[in-house]
Structure 1
């Protein structure tokens, strides 16, 4: 009887341990708690945080990341718009990276008309992040570039 219980215990515990390991080191559900990424990601949405991406040396512009907010230490999500060495500016609501206008079809331009920033050069080891809902987002315009060491992973959103 003891061997049978051991087998049941192993069969029950192995899946639990696998799920915990995947959640700790690979992928974890993440609940969005603000509307700063609308319309791409709505408040209350559950997305997947891909953790191995946190170890990347660079993050492509346009990818949505989760990171530790420099304001309050909570997990935050925003879109990377510029990496180290790049110059970022916003002129009349339009994003420019290295003086090239960036197409952002997910932005509601009527809400960010007359917005200006920069130009700012992103320092080594940092990324510049912006929320898609620029009118309400608190992002690198407010707290500056985010250190790569604060990045927890990328979000698997299905939209870019």
Structure 2
């Protein structure tokens, strides 16, 4: 679905914008678990989590309460993902930036999918249904 792809790309570019503001402009060295956080890593992780969120949403929306359950599970996954920077040993401004990236990507995915991807797929009208069968003709034939 094109609208889901747009939401994913928005989340990826939002995370990359935070990286650009933080690393080259502000001069903060982003490290997690002793490794430097590169823009490629930011893009790949954002893209992967965005794809997972989109696929799960596209499946969940087929059910009546699917979007609600998906939103609750998405919030739980977001909170759990935010423990990653904490467990990586990041502190200070690095921890804040990594947490902002998590919230930005997760929030963009959840709000974007809920607002811009239709909840239910619209079905094409069934051409062979009883409603479309014409009534028998009452005209007198010659």
If the length of structure 2 is used for normalisation, what is the TM-score? 0.25
If the length of structure 1 is used for normalisation, what is the TM-score? 0.23
Query: Would you tell me which structure has more strand in proportion to its own residues?
Result: 1
Query: Would you tell me which structure has more helix in proportion to its own residues?
Result: 2
From the CA coordinates, give the structure whose radius of gyration is larger.
2
